[in-house]
């Protein structure tokens, strides 16, 4: 079970407080080496700061803080993306910090559960929908089916969405491995998105995410007992992404590399063609140190 997105608002102690610096200090405590840089404010706030971690010589954005402005009654917002949420080492540190703030409201939290070998999948979720196990109060919620549903052998991955974001709760069940480009992957992700539309999200969702995942729909109760360790999920994502990108490079540039190797050593080819940075597709895995060399992080 992992928190895959997190957004919270709160009321700073004073108008003069450097909220960006306060949030930066928090992230350094619960993540480690985090950099911050002033950013253009967004969504009606007066000031903004973006946060980054360094991976393979590149700064990868993991979230932001915005604060001030009459539109939001001088409130502040801290948001961590999927990449940022996945590298939080201890959410109890975030919980402790929030308990010291005023008028705290979690506005969004995504809870993700992965089944790397397809122990539970799309077909199960479809059957549970038919059986009424997503029924909350008399009838099944609305659902949609984006993705590769019409192929006899789905290649690009299917998604089943249950509920509506506008109503504050939605489940996405999707073929994560195929989404990443591995056509024979059985990896399926169940992801519950909870927003504070007509509901209050308790702070202890940060330290007891499994409880709120299971409580979202009857069908999800007990699934977490079968889930793999978090590190296994991160490694799997990195592995599939590297395999897919290697296939693309081989297809598009393989002949060119073959010609280069006729006049250069492999080390010379790598020196000539590589440069610092992380492809966007690999950012989440790189930030989680899946590709290890700690001296590069």
Ordered by start, the domain boundaries in the chain are 1-100, 106-228, 230-290
| The domain defined by 106-228 carries CATH number 3.40.50 | no
Q: Give pLDDT, residue 238.
A: 64
Q: Give pLDDT, residue 139.
A: 79
pTM, two decimal places: 0.77
Q: Tokens at residue 44, please?
A: 């009606």
Contact of 179 with 192, CB cutoff 8 Å: no
Q: At 260, phi and psi to the nearest 5?
A: -60, -40
Which parts of the chain have pLDDT scores under 70?
16, 226-238, 240-242, 244, 276-297
Contact of 52 with 69, CB cutoff 8 Å: no
Q: Give pLDDT, residue 122.
A: 93
Contact of 123 with 129, CB cutoff 8 Å: no
- Cα(127)–Cα(166) distance, integer angstroms: 25
b/e sequence 168-195, b meaning 16+ C-beta within 10 Å: bbbbbbbbbbbbbbbeebebbbbbbbbb
Using the 8-state DSSP alphabet, how is residue 227 labeled?
P
What's the gap between Cα 254 and its chain centre?
32
What's the gap between Cα 9 and its chain centre?
19
What's the gap between Cα 116 and its chain centre?
16
């Amino acid at each position: 079970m992992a928190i895959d997105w997190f957004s919270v608002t709160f009321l700073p102690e004073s108008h003069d407080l450097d909220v960006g610096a306060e949030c930066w200090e928090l992230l350094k405590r619960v993540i480690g080496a985090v950099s911050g840089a002033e950013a253009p404010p967004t969504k009606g706030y007066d000031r903004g700061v973006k946060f980054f971690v360094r991976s393979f010589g590149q700064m990868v954005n993991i979230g932001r803080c915005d604060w001030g402005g009459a539109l939001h009654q001088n409130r502040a917002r801290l948001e961590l993306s999927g990449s940022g949420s996945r590298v939080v080492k201890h959410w109890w540190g975030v919980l402790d910090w929030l308990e010291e703030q005023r008028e705290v409201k979690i506005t969004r939290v995504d809870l993700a559960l992965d089944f790397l070998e397809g122990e539970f999948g799309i077909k199960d979720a479809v059957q549970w929908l038919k059986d009424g196990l997503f029924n909350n109060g008399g009838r099944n919620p609305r659902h949609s089916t984006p993705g590769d549903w019409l192929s006899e052998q789905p290649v690009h991955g299917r998604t089943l969405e249950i509920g509506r974001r506008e109503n504050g709760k939605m489940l996405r069940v999707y073929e994560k491995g195929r989404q990443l480009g591995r056509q024979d992957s059985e990896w399926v992700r169940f992801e519950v998105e909870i927003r504070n539309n007509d509901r209050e999200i308790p702070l202890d969702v940060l330290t007891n995410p499994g409880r709120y995942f299971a409580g979202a729909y009857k069908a999800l109760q007990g699934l977490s007992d079968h889930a793999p360790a978090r590190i296994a999920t991160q490694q799997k994502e990195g592995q599939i992404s590297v395999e897919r990108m290697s296939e693309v490079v081989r297809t598009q540039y393989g002949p060119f590399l073959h010609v280069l190797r006729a006049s250069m050593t492999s080390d010379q080819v790598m020196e000539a063609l590589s440069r610092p940075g992380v492809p966007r597709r690999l950012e989440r895995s790189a930030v989680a140190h899946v590709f290890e060399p700690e001296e590069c992080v």
